[in-house]
Amino acid sequence: MTLTSILAWLNAAVTFGTIIMLGSVGEILTEKSGNLNLGVPGIMYLGAIGALAGAFFYENGNPAPVPFVSMCISLVCALIASGLGGLLYCFMTVTLRANQNVTGLTLTIFGSGVANFFGGSLVKLSGGVGQISVAAASSAYRAQIPVLSTKLGIFSTIFFNYGFLTYAAILIALGAGFFLNRTRAGLNLRAVGENPATADAAGINVTKYKYLATTIGAMFEGLGGVYYVMDYIKGTWDTGGGIEALGWLAVALVIFTSWKPISAIWGSFVFGICYWVYLYIPANISAVLAKLCGNANPSHMQNLYRMIPYLVTIVILIFVSKRKRRENRNPQSLGISYFREER
């Protein structure tokens, strides 16, 4: 394997990892409040379509769209759309006391429906033809840091080859780690997730913490969707269900990191490497493996290599559950809604 292809692999892994890092940091915040939100794919979808729609309405019919303005509009729209998704989840589970898993799955169906419907029909609904494309916004998202991204040779290729959201994601993960472990509000949030009755007795407003953590978490997840649509697929839309698989991987990463936002940084890059490994398995190894699989055509083996991230997750899941370390466990009240009068 050449150096160039290793570098390409690393770049692809970081780009991929950024999406699920944002998703899983958002979900860690959410789960720390005791809400198990299985709507992550749906919320990422909502963020993605929010960004796309915002940029589209600004750029459509505008002869000279300013990339930066388009980017800001799409960011705001994405945060609103994904925040509303988080609010809907909270309203259903905290206020209306619905089952968390079912609400989350419904949100995933709903979000994927909204996003794929409008992603496919937005152009048509506004009277145009062809595929949706927001080139200006996408170029702003993909803009790289000047000087740093060109002048440092291999160092630039590895570390400065990405749009700003990659660095924002790392900062968000670091910030979330600091918030959870070093601040009073973070301590309160963890108390809510571990034992809401005790937190309530100590005067912590459980409902407020659940709403805020879930909604802000949802906004981070939405940013993951923005990164997918603006950077990963460059300001277009594909109805192939790509975000859904990434959303579930983000949920898996939460357990993989044992609810630590800082571990999500390297964890997501490891997932990225696993995800892209199928493109970088050398031909001679692939030929041997194909022989082992009953003389399969080596070009078909890619389908099997693409299982790797999921198999790795499963193995880690088993390993973690076998060790049963206390600090690696989920928040104690995860998945259980809290009602003061039903203790």
Partner 1 sequence: MRNKYDKPHDSVKEPLIHLVRRVDIPASKAWMIRIICVLLGMLVCALFIMSITSLNPVSVYASMFSGAFGTPRRIWQTLKDMAILLCIGIGLAPAFKLRFWNVGAEGQVLIGGLVCAAWMITMGGKLPNALMLVLMAVTAMLASALWGLIPAYFKSKYRTNETLFTLMMNYVALQLVEFFVDVWDKKQSHSVGIINGDTQSGWMPSLFGQQFAPAVLIVGALTIGMYFYLKNSKQGFEITVAGESENTARYAGISVSKVILRTMAISAAICGLAGFLEVSCVSHTISSLTAGGRGFTAIIVAWLGKFNPIAMTLITAILSFLSRGANQIASDFNFNTYASSILTGIILFFILASEFFINYRLVFRSKKGKERAE
Beta carbons of 48 and 244 less than 8 angstroms apart: no
Binding partner 1 (rule: CB under 8 A), the pick from 5, 62, 99, 131 is 99
Residue 32's closest CA among 165, 169, 166, 199?
199
3-state class of 56 per DSSP? helix
Binders of partner 1 among residues 70 to 89 (CB under 8 A) are 88
> Is residue 202 close enough to count as binding partner 1 by CB under 8 A?
no
Residue 171's closest CA among 75, 76, 262, 77?
262
Q: How many residues make contact with partner 1 (CB under 8 A)?
A: 53
> Is residue 322 close enough to count as binding partner 1 by CB under 8 A?
yes
Identity of the residue, 199 or 254, whose beta carbon is nearer to partner 1 in the bound complex: 254
> Is residue 116 close enough to count as binding partner 1 by CB under 8 A?
yes
Torsion sign (Cα): 190, 193, 194, 197: positive
Interior/surface letters 160-186, b for 16+ CB within 10 angstroms, e for the rest: bbbbebbeebbebbeebbebbeeeeeb
CB of 334 to partner 1, least distance (A): 10
> Is residue 300 close enough to count as binding partner 1 by CB under 8 A?
yes
Beta carbons of 333 and 193 less than 8 angstroms apart: yes
Binding partner 1 (rule: CB under 8 A), the pick from 22, 180, 252, 273 is 252
CB of 27 to partner 1, least distance (A): 12
| Residues forming the site for partner 1 (CB under 8 A) | 38, 88, 92, 96-99, 101-103, 105-114, 116-117, 120-121, 124-125, 239, 245, 248, 251-252, 255, 296-297, 299-301, 303-304, 306-307, 310-311, 313-314, 317-318, 321-322, 324, 330, 341-342
